[in-house]
Structure 1
C-alpha cells in the first residue's frame, strides 16, 4: 500500500505557478514546521514540500520508523506521485542521509546535503542509548531546538520517542551502496560544526558522478538558522537553472 502523501508532506506556502519542487527532509528530532521559512522564502517560484516523519507533531500518535532505509522506502513511494514538476531534494543532518538514500531509489535533479558527513564516513555514536537527560543535553549542545521546548517536561516527554528513534536510526545507519548517484550533489557545512569536519563534508564528492560543489558557512551544526539567506540563495539559483532548462 502506498503511503499517504497528505500525511507525509506539508505545504506551507502556496505556489500554484511553480516550475520546480523542493522536497525538504528534517534533521533528527525535527519536524516540518522548522522549515516553514524556507517555504515562504522560495514561494511562489518554487513549491516547497516538507516531509513530516511519523511520530511528531500531528503524527505523534504514529510509531517512528526504525531505520533510515525504512524512511527512504516510504518517501520513495510518496515521491513517485510527485512527477508533475522537476524535483530537488534538501536534507539537513539526518535528513541529508535520508535524502541520499531516497536519491538511490528515485534520483532527483539535485541533492542538497547539509550539516552531515558523507554517508561512507562513519563515526561510532551512541546518543540513542543515553537516558532522556543525556539526549536533551546533546540537543542543547547542538542548539537545534528552542530552549523553551527543551525546558518543558511535557513537550519533551511527547517528543522523546521520536527523538530517540531518529538518533537510533542515524547512529545505526551503515552505507552499503557501490554505485554513486547520477545527480549533482551540493553540500552545505558549518565551519565550526562538531559533527562534520571539512574533509568529511568534501567526501560527498565520492558519492556522485554528476557534479559536486560545497559551501562552507560560518556556524556550528545548525548554521542553517543564521545562514538561511545564503543557503536559500543557492537553492533558488539551482531551481532557476532547472526552470530555464
Structure 2
C-alpha cells in the first residue's frame, strides 16, 4: 500500500503503537525491508522510504544529494501524526535517516529512536569516487559487499538488467561520496543505536562508536555476525534489537 509518494507499507499492523521508517541502502528500494516488516508485526508498523528512480518510481528523476533526500523524507514523515516514530537506516540509508532526524527535530518533532546500521559516522568522509567509474567498477563494488558475490553475476550476464539497476547505484554512490556533514555536535536529542557486523568491509566497530557524539540521548552499539548485508541473514535478530529499543 502506498502511504504517500515517498513511503510504502507492507503489513497493516493496525494495532501498532509505534511506526518505524526505514531507509534503504545505495541502489536499494523500499522492498528491502519487507522481511523486517514481517518480523516486527504486529507491534510495529514499518514504513519504508521509496526513493525516486526505482520500482514504482522508476520514471521519477533521481536525487543524488543526501540533504535533499532527507528534506523530502522529513516532509513525508512530518505530515503524519498521532503515532510515535523511530527511524532505521542501513548503509547510505543510515546517513539519510540521520539527516532526516536532524530535520524533524529541528522542526520540533520528538523522535522515539534513531537506529543506524553499517555506516560510518557523518563526519567520517569517504575518499572514493566509485560513482565516476565504469559499470565494471560498480559491479565489482556490489560483488565486494554482497553476501554471495555470485548473486551479482546476473549484471554481467544480462546487460539489460544492468541498465536498469546500475543508474540507481551510481546515483546513490554519488550522494554518499559527495556528502559532507555540516553543523555542530551533538545535534540530536533522541536515543541512538548503532548496528554493525563483525566482517563489514565498509566500517569498523571503532568507527561506528563515533556516532555517540551526535546525540545527548542514550547511545548503544549492537554487533552482529556477517558482512555488510548481515541484515538479510539475521533479520529476526535485528528485529529483536529494534523492538527492544522502540516498543
Same fold (TM over 0.5): yes
2:159 equivalent to 1:156: no
Tell whether 2:84 aligns with 1:86.
yes
Asked if 1:211 corresponds to 2:218, the answer is: yes
Match of 1:236 among 232, 243, 246: 243
Rounded Cα–Cα distance in structure 2 between residues aligned with 1:83 and 1:179: 28
Give the distance between the partners of 1:229 and 1:125, measured in 2 at CA.
Answer: 33
Over aligned residues, Cα RMSD in angstroms? Answer: 1.6
Q: Which residue of 1 aligns with 2:171?
A: 165
> What is the deviation of 1:239?
2.5
Check if 1:122 corresponds to 2:125. Answer: yes
Pick the aligned partner of 1:196 from 203, 207, 230: 203
TM-score for both structures, normalised by structure 2: 0.92
Equivalent in the alignment of 2:137:
134
Report if aligned partners of 1:13, 1:40 keep a CA contact under 8 Å in 2.
Answer: yes
- Unmatched 5+ residue regions in structure 2? 106-110
Alpha-carbon distance in 2 for matches of 1:61, 1:149: 23
Moved more, 150-159 or 95-104: 150-159
Deviation at 1:165, TM superposition (A): 0.7
> What is the CA deviation profile of residues 157-194 of structure 1, one whole-angstrom value per residue up to 9, with x for unaligned ones?
01222111100001100011204211111000011111
Post-superposition CA distance 1:38-80 (Å, at most 9, x none): 1111112111000110001111111111200010010111011
Is 1:225 aligned to 2:245, yes or no? no
State the 1:148 CA deviation.
6.0
Residue aligning to 1:67: 65
How far apart are the structure 1 equivalents of 2:181 and 2:3?
A: 27
- Tell me which residue corresponds to 2:108: none
- Tell which deviates more after alignment, 85-94 or 100-109: 100-109
Partner of 1:26: 24
